[in-house]
């Protein structure tokens, strides 16, 4: 192969990798080992924009917050990929690369020449990544919403399903109810242990969270508030789980004290896995 052809081949290969919006591969099989717990984080990252700095994208601030707890599984909401407002950054890829995690970006909508949605990040291999479109009532002006799911391969050879969502943000609960009912419908037949996380835009005691509680167990009951980050008054970000053999239990749950990186504070839970 000539030097020119070799250079073109290498350039094309690099371009193909850089344009990929997901990394769910596991090039080196991991040694099978026992696992007794999973640390899960949910974080609405406000498209990487610190609220006190309009027009600024600060990916490193998000990475630093996440690195402080080093979760095994990470659900990110309000993720930009190649949008104008975020400087054409593939935010899901950039964050995953810095955290040394695998990732799957799920588009909710096209936005400013790019895409906007949620991302699943995992320390362990992901497969069967899928986007479930959630309903929005016609005439309400609600933004399209999704549930992203993937199968996670744990080091002990078992599997779980991991889901991430961001429900409607309008003051009226109509669309959120439709969306949580659809989530309940599509997850009911799942036979794997299931962890779901996200920004539900509803507080405990509402019909939306009651519906979530009917199908999953939240990692908190008296949940600390998560928004606004500067002085939070409402809990709307949750992690919840379901295990067909009841082998999950909550070791800890916390809201991270973080006021700069986003308008939400992240939620972290450690789930014990019984044998």
pLDDT digits (tens, 9 = 90+) for 53-94: 999 999 999 999 999 999 999 999 999 999 999 999 999 999
Structural domain contains residue 22: no
Query: What pLDDT, on a 0 to 100 scale, did the predictor assign at position 19?
Result: 37
Structural domain contains residue 29: no
Query: What pLDDT, on a 0 to 100 scale, did the predictor assign at position 220?
Result: 98
Closest listed residue to residue 240, CA positions, set 203, 181, 198: 198
Query: Which DSSP string corresponds to 178-204?
Result: HHHHHHHHHHTT--S-EEEEEE-S--T
Query: What pLDDT, on a 0 to 100 scale, did the predictor assign at position 237?
Result: 98
- Residue 159: domain span: 40-273
Closest listed residue to residue 40, CA positions, set 197, 255, 245, 180: 197
Structural domain contains residue 152: yes
Structural domain contains residue 91: yes
Query: What pLDDT, on a 0 to 100 scale, did the predictor assign at position 78?
Result: 98
Structural domain contains residue 27: no
Phi, psi of 167, rounded to the nearest 5 degrees = -80, 165
169: CATH: 3.60.10.10
Query: What pLDDT, on a 0 to 100 scale, did the predictor assign at position 31?
Result: 66
* Count of domains for the chain: 1
Structural domain contains residue 6: no
Structural domain contains residue 140: yes
Walk along the chain (275 residues) and give the pLDDT tens digit of each residue. 444 443 444 334 444 333 345 777 554 455 678 899 999 999 999 999 999 999 999 999 999 999 999 999 999 999 999 999 999 999 999 999 999 999 999 999 999 999 999 999 999 999 999 999 999 999 999 999 999 999 999 999 999 999 999 999 999 999 999 999 999 999 999 999 999 999 999 999 999 999 999 999 999 999 999 999 999 999 999 999 999 999 999 999 999 999 999 999 999 999 999 97
Region of residue 72 (left: phi > 0; alpha: psi -120 to 50; beta: else) = alpha
Structural domain contains residue 226: yes
């Amino acid at each position: 192969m000539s030097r020119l052809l070799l250079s073109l081949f290498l350039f094309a290969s690099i371009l193909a990798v850089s344009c990929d919006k997901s990394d769910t591969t596991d090039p080196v099989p991991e040694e099978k080992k026992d696992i007794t717990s999973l640390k899960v984080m949910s974080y609405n990252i406000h498209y990487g924009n610190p609220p006190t700095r309009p027009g600024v994208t600060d990916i490193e601030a998000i990475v630093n917050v996440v690195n402080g707890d080093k979760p095994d599984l990470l659900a990110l909401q309000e993720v930009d990929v190649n949008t104008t407002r975020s400087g054409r950054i593939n935010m899901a890829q950039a964050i995953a690369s810095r955290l040394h995690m695998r990732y799957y970006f799920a588009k909710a909508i096209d936005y400013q020449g790019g895409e906007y949605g949620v991302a699943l990040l995992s320390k362990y291999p992901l497969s069967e990544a899928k986007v479930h479109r959630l309903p929005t009532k016609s005439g309400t002006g609600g933004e399209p919403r999704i549930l992203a799911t993937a199968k996670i391969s744990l080091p002990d050879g078992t599997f779980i399903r991991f889901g991430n969502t961001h429900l409607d943000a309008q003051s009226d609960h109509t669309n959120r109810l439709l969306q949580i009912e659809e989530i309940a419908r599509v997850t009911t037949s799942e036979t794997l242990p299931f962890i779901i996380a996200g920004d539900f835009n509803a507080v405990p005691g509402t019909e939306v969270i009651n519906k979530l509680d009917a199908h999953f167990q939240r990692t908190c009951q008296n949940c600390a508030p998560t928004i606004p980050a500067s002085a939070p008054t409402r809990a709307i970000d949750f992690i919840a789980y379901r295990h067909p053999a009841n082998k999950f239990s909550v070791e800890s749950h916390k809201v991270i004290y973080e006021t700069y990186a986003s308008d939400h504070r992240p939620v972290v839970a450690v789930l014990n896995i019984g044998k």
